[in-house]
Amino acid sequence: MSPDEARERFATARVARLATADAAGKPHVVPLVFALDDDTIYSAVDPKPKRTQDLKRLRNVAANPQVALLADHYVDDDWDVLWWVRADGVGRVLEASERAVELLRRRYAQYADAAPDGPVLAIEVRRWSGWHA
């Protein structure tokens, strides 16, 4: 799959999975909603009670900025339509980002009611790749 096609498919996904690793190389993976802005992927810490327990991804990015995100399509009874795309890049934790919040609110109705007000993860994608059946 070409990088352009991988990027296009990623842009259509409503959820992605973020893989990070701590300074010792121990991997971590969480699902997240996101907005894509050119080659930057934004995600925000939700305005939810889980915030305090959910910062491992941010600590990992601060210690080791290398990240990978996956979007995929799985259908149990038809493996001929499967695809996945991966974005490999470098993450930064922003205390806030009006641009990210604007894009996320435009994309997810839930954020229109309760805008994320926590830190924002900004990932500069260096490589788009993917596979389809």
**Residues interacting with its own copies, by CB under 8 A?**
14-15, 17-31, 50, 54, 64, 66-70, 72, 74, 76-77, 79, 84, 86, 109-110, 131
Q: Which is nearer to its own copies, 76 or 95 (CB)?
A: 76
> 115 by DSSP, 3-state: which?
coil
Write down how long the chain is: 133
Q: Which is nearer to its own copies, 42 or 84 (CB)?
A: 84
Q: What angle do CA 28, 34, 38 make, to 5 degrees?
A: 115
- 39's tokens: 């080659």
Question: Residue 55 CB, nearest distance to its own copies (Å)?
Answer: 13
Separation CA 45–CA 30 (nearest Å): 12
- 115's tokens: 């805008």
Question: Residue 70 CB, nearest distance to its own copies (Å)?
Answer: 4
Question: Residue 96 CB, nearest distance to its own copies (Å)?
Answer: 22
